[in-house]
Structure 1
Amino acid sequence: MSLTLPSRRRALQALSLTLGAPLLARADSWPSKPLRWVVAYPAGGGSDFLARQLAPQLGKQLGQTIVIDNRPGAGGAIGTDAAAKSPADGYTLLSGDNGAMVFNSAMYKKLAYSPSDFAPVGFMARFPLILCVNPGSGFASAKQWLDEVRKQPGKFSYASPGIGSPHHLAMELIKQRSQSFIVHVPYRGTAYAIQDVIGGIVPMAILDTAAGLPQIRAGKIRALAVLSKKRLATLPDVPTFEELGLKDVEVAAWQGLFVPKGTPEAIVNRLSSEMQKALAVPELRARLEDFGLEVAPGDAASLGRFLQAETAQWHALIKERKLSAE
């Protein structure tokens, strides 16, 4: 005998609840074991510092240990791909940044993962960027620097931590806005780039605050301008690019928290809430800010909207300037 319409509906509802029960059970019991936090960059860098400072507090709130798993290489693509292929069960976290979540999908013709393989958890923090020069480079001010690079296209070179890094794309934006040409010298990491700027091998670099501030304070490099909306509290005498007449030159190396797509919504929501709570702890926030970070916790929805805006802006620039990491 066939089921009546109401009976069929009840049967379908019961089946749906039965299929969803294991997922709900996992979310309710989560976390029941240690979590893994993938950082797609080497230990000791800014991304690693943020994760290692935040993980103990977040783990304390969740009642579980969070283990940092550094997977560097290919501009963050190796570690990000490893995270993308992990189970969507709430036990794998990823530090996602401009490179992995925005630039790579436009810079590489073939990419093993897609940013759509992840669900955003929340925005964590940003590293402001600074135009820095060797003190002996002859550049005494940002205005002089701008005049010189405009007048002599191709004469000067700049260092970056690598092709497709926020530092690289930031200088490409400056070059576009200023109608100048400066030769890119990519390095395998920030430490090597700074070393050659200090040594005078390359006259300038775009550096983030975490890497640049200690060297600026030590007098080993000179800060000329910041790529922020307003001057930084840590560098009150250094002008913004807008003060120099270049509009919309605002770039930061940002950090967001992500999980593999398909992670139960209840877990994502709890992670987002606990992450924001952890970043509000005064002692933790003070350590991060002292390192040069701008702490700016946000929820999953706001990170998702931010990611869409970043993708539209930077993919257009990458296409216009014919940039590639191949």
Structure 2
Amino acid sequence: MERRHLLAALAAAAAAPWVRAEGAYPAQPIRWVVPYPAGGGTDVLARTVAEAMRTGLGQQIVVDNRPGASTNIGAQIVATARPDGYTVMSADNALLAYNEHLFRKLPFSPERDFTYVGGLSRFPLALVVHPAFEAQTFKDFLAYVRAHPGKVNYASPGNGSPHHLAMELFKHRTRTFLTHIPYRGAAPALQDVMGGQVPCMFLDLAAGLPVIQSGKVRALAIGAARRVAGLPDVPTLAEVGVADAEVYAFQGVLAPAGLPPAVTARLNEEINQALAAPAVAQRMRDFGMEALPGTPEQFHAMARAEARRWGPVIEATGVKLD
């Protein structure tokens, strides 16, 4: 009898630190993994929301940029982290909708190995060119690339990024052939388009709207359902005759699988409050972003619907990353 009591007491003592940590959550800084380099749209959005969450959580959120392998490097870090609420990540189309179709085998499952915490934003992608590129309009661009198959390069933040798949979808819909030049992030890709080393790319408005408005690149079309307020003179792809080519980058927050429901709920609440904060909302509008507040279940449903939508598209384009 005494031995049983002793074992019970030891078990309770071992559990006590976890109980205290859970009750006091968060009791230490939170690491927010961004699977892209600093300076791109994903990084800007994560830092903006993380700063707004700091007051409500009473803890710092430290952004940790871990780019590479079509976001798989960052995803693997989070998938294998402790589900204690102190490691989260930004996840976009690559991890949530593309990679299961692009890779024959992933070291994790987007469905099984993560807790879906909440949505952040979505923003359309624009087809942009260097200002000196001889095609001044979308019609001119289409005629030029058709006349020079394979000789026009395009940049992207990396293999399997939303920007890469947007151009592959464009190529498929228009029956054109451009050559892909992948970079390690949106910032260096955009830098080379602005510098004229690569003539074009699909650019997310989170990183690119100010650059387009300043004239450093020229937008030819927007992959959105309707024109963007910040670029009222830029037509949609549908308006210029490219059907079924809406292309958005969407972002949300994941944590390791098994995150306690109370911690998931707390993080989701803080994310939604951050998205509603006037300063955050204004900055998102300035960058052409659409906020995606909601429940973890809504974010999960949206992500899986996108995975189902892009599966046939990726198969049709023939893109594979291994």
Change (3 A) 1:58 1:141: same
Aligned to 2:109: 114
User: How far is 1:204 from its partner?
Assistant: 1.3
Tell me the amino acid that sits aligned with residue 190 of structure 2: I
Q: Is the contact made by 2:39 and 2:187 (CA closer than 8 Å) also made in structure 1?
A: no
Change (3 A) 1:146 1:201: same
Is residue 2:82 matched to residue 1:87?
yes
User: How far is 1:101 from its partner?
Assistant: 2.1
User: How far is 1:187 from its partner?
Assistant: 2.1
Aligned to 1:14: none
Aligned to 2:306: 310
Match of 1:115, SS? coil
Tell me the amino acid that sits aligned with residue 204 of structure 1: C
Tell me the amino acid that sits aligned with residue 142 of structure 1: F
Match of 2:231, SS? coil
Instruction: Tell me how far apart the structure 2 counterparts of residues 91 and 188 of structure 1 sit (CA, whole Å).
Output: 26
Aligned to 2:293: 297
Match of 1:236, SS? coil
User: How far is 1:184 from its partner?
Assistant: 1.7
Percent identical among aligned pairs is 48
Tell me the amino acid that sits aligned with residue 55 of structure 2: K
Instruction: Tell me how far apart the structure 2 counterparts of residues 157 and 72 of structure 1 sit (CA, whole Å).
Output: 23
Within the candidate set 175, 182, 188, 2:184 is matched to 188
Within the candidate set 266, 269, 274, 1:270 is matched to 266
Q: Is the contact made by 1:38 and 1:79 (CA closer than 8 Å) also made in structure 2?
A: yes
Is residue 2:148 matched to residue 1:142?
no
Match of 1:244, SS? coil
Is residue 2:195 matched to residue 1:214?
no
Instruction: Tell me how far apart the structure 1 counterparts of residues 208 and 120 of structure 2 sit (CA, whole Å).
Output: 20
Aligned to 2:248: 252
Extract unaligned runs of 5+ from structure 1: 1-17
User: How far is 1:160 from its partner?
Assistant: 1.4
Q: Is the contact made by 1:150 and 1:178 (CA closer than 8 Å) also made in structure 2?
A: no
Q: Is the contact made by 1:84 and 1:260 (CA closer than 8 Å) also made in structure 2?
A: yes
| TM-score after normalising by structure 1 | 0.87
Within the candidate set 40, 60, 63, 2:58 is matched to 63
Q: Is the contact made by 1:97 and 1:253 (CA closer than 8 Å) also made in structure 2?
A: yes
User: How far is 1:123 from its partner?
Assistant: 0.9
Aligned to 1:176: 172
Instruction: Tell me how far apart the structure 2 counterparts of residues 138 and 254 of structure 1 sit (CA, whole Å).
Output: 32
Aligned to 1:224: 220
Q: Is the contact made by 1:128 and 1:294 (CA closer than 8 Å) also made in structure 2?
A: no
User: How far is 1:32 from its partner?
Assistant: 2.4
Q: Number of aligned pairs?
A: 307
Is residue 2:36 matched to residue 1:36?
no
Within the candidate set 38, 47, 67, 1:52 is matched to 47
CA RMSD of aligned residues (A): 2.1
User: How far is 1:152 from its partner?
Assistant: 4.6
Within the candidate set 152, 157, 166, 1:156 is matched to 152
Tell me the amino acid that sits aligned with residue 208 of structure 2: G
Instruction: Tell me how far apart the structure 2 counterparts of residues 202 and 238 of structure 1 sit (CA, whole Å).
Output: 21
Instruction: Tell me how far apart the structure 2 counterparts of residues 200 and 94 of structure 1 sit (CA, whole Å).
Output: 33
Aligned to 1:101: 96
Extract unaligned runs of 5+ from structure 2: 1-11
Instruction: Tell me how far apart the structure 2 counterparts of residues 149 and 42 of structure 1 sit (CA, whole Å).
Output: 30
Q: Is the contact made by 1:133 and 1:224 (CA closer than 8 Å) also made in structure 2?
A: yes
| TM-score after normalising by structure 2 | 0.88
Tell me the amino acid that sits aligned with residue 139 of structure 2: K
Deviation track 1:157-181 (CA, whole Å, cap 9, x = no partner) reads 2221211110010011111222222
Match of 1:210, SS? helix
Match of 1:83, SS? helix
Aligned to 1:74: 69
Tell me the amino acid that sits aligned with residue 51 of structure 2: P
Instruction: Tell me how far apart the structure 1 counterparts of residues 320 and 126 of structure 2 sit (CA, whole Å).
Output: 23
Match of 1:64, SS? coil
User: How far is 1:90 from its partner?
Assistant: 1.6
Deviation track 1:103-149 (CA, whole Å, cap 9, x = no partner) reads 22222234322212111111101232110112222212112323443
User: How far is 1:206 from its partner?
Assistant: 0.8
Aligned to 1:205: 201
